[in-house]
Amino acid sequence: EVQLVESGGGLVQPGRSLKLSCVASGFTFSNYGMNWIRQAPGKGLEWVAYISSGSSYIYYAETVKGRFTISRDNAKNTLYLQMTSLRSEDTALYYCARGSMDYWGQGVMVTVSS
Amino acid sequence: DIVLTQAPLSVSVTPGESASISCRSSKSLLSSKGITSLYWYLQRPGKSPQLLIYQMSNLASGVPDRFSSSGSETDFTLKISKVETEDVGVYYCGHRLEYPRTFGGGTKLELK
């Protein structure tokens, strides 16, 4: 069974940093690209970033480019999202999803507030 | 960026009846490989989104055949026949043609 489990969320002050993790199981993680997608409270879905299976290709939404860094450790079956210079508008539920977005995690909440 | 516009914002359906949701793209979603890169997702209340339809008309694994999708290069329709209680939630269209990936604003399906 494919499982994606996010962690690392919480309450953080504007301008600070936070690192999210997503542990994958039930499939060969190193064969798949991975995404981060977020959903602000009561809002729709916003794609955030993608990383290819071997980390050769990385793409970001303009809203996070230069502030967020997606990375992965295939030996640990883990996807990461390093978030810096956080803003109130980054407050959202962050999901990791397998490359074709066929499987999603349960999400982890990030709240940016003073 | 590709803009996906969904209509209606919400739909109220009697159980057992049908519902249709529209998704219009600002750009053709037909890829150079001949694949139409349009996807449908359902987000049930309090749950993560789940994939319903991939490449415009293909049912994802485990999705009942009450769901169907069709369209052209820019206009798409998700049809749900014989709506059931478990179909309640917000439906999103999305594309994978290029980066950034984008989603429609969502259509909320409720039962009468």
- How close does chain A come to B98, measured CA to CA in Å? 10
CA distance A62 to A5: 26
- pLDDT category of residue A76 using cuts at 50, 70 and 90: very high
Position B54 scores a pLDDT of 97
Position A104 scores a pLDDT of 98
Q: For the residues B84-93, what does the mean pLDDT come to?
A: 97
> Which residues are paired to B6 by β-bridges?
B23
> Which are the contacts of A30, defined by CB distance < 8 A and separation ≥ 6?
A53, A54, A74
Q: In angstroms, how far apart are the furthest CA atoms of chain A?
A: 40
Position B37 scores a pLDDT of 96
Q: Give yes or no for B51 touching A (CB within 8 A).
A: yes
Q: For the residues B83-103, what does the mean pLDDT come to?
A: 97
Position B92 scores a pLDDT of 98
- pLDDT category of residue A13 using cuts at 50, 70 and 90: very high
Size of interface A-B (CB pairs under 8 A): 49
- pLDDT category of residue A18 using cuts at 50, 70 and 90: very high
The tens digit of pLDDT for each residue in B39-88 reads: 999 999 999 999 999 999 999 999 999 999 999 999 999 999 999 999 99
What is the percentage of chain A residues whose pLDDT exceeds 70?
Answer: 100
Position B88 scores a pLDDT of 98
Cβ–Cβ gap A50/B101 under 8 Å:
yes
Q: Give yes or no for B55 touching A (CB within 8 A).
A: no
Nearest residue of A to residue B9 by CA position? Answer: A44
DSSP 8-state code for residue B101: P
Q: Give yes or no for A59 touching B (CB within 8 A).
A: yes
Position A8 scores a pLDDT of 98
Cβ–Cβ gap A44/B103 under 8 Å:
yes
Q: For the residues B84-110, what does the mean pLDDT come to?
A: 97
Cβ–Cβ gap B48/A95 under 8 Å:
yes
